[in-house]
Amino acid sequence: MRDHGLKRDEYMLLYCLSHFAELTAQEVAKMTERPPNSISKAVLRKLKKGYFNRSPNPTYVHQILLRIASKGRNLHERVLPRFVSREKEIFLPLN
């Protein structure tokens, strides 16, 4: 992940948003069981770099909805093969 400039929480955020149209940072924290403040920091870092878009939640004004931007989707597609390969290595002895 580091060779792509990603910290763990940033990748968790990227991964979750690549599978859902919209999520809040709180939802990502619950899904990944990561501390909410860690996810919030990841959101701020990657929003500044254009990997995600955000907009107010029309039904709950105190929440911000996050969406993956094309730049974020491209990064996810570059990083994902490494994780798939690693997963195969980990589970191979179990077969």
Which residues are CB-contacts of 67 (< 8 A; sequence separation ≥ 6)?
17, 21, 22, 52, 53, 54, 55
Q: Does residue 14 register a pLDDT over 90?
A: yes
Q: What is the pLDDT of residues 26-73, one digit of tens each?
A: 999 999 999 999 999 999 999 999 999 999 999 988 899 999 999 999
**CA-CA-CA-CA torsion sign (72, 75, 77, 81):** negative
In the chain, DSSP finds a helix count (H) and a strand count (E) of 4, 2
- Cα–Cα distances (Å) from 67 to 14, 18, 50, 75, 90, in that order, read 10, 8, 11, 14, 31
Q: Does residue 1 register a pLDDT over 70?
A: no
pLDDT-derived band at 82, boundaries 50, 70, 90: confident
Number of neighbouring beta carbons within 10 Å of residue 55: 10
pTM, whole model, 2 decimals? 0.82
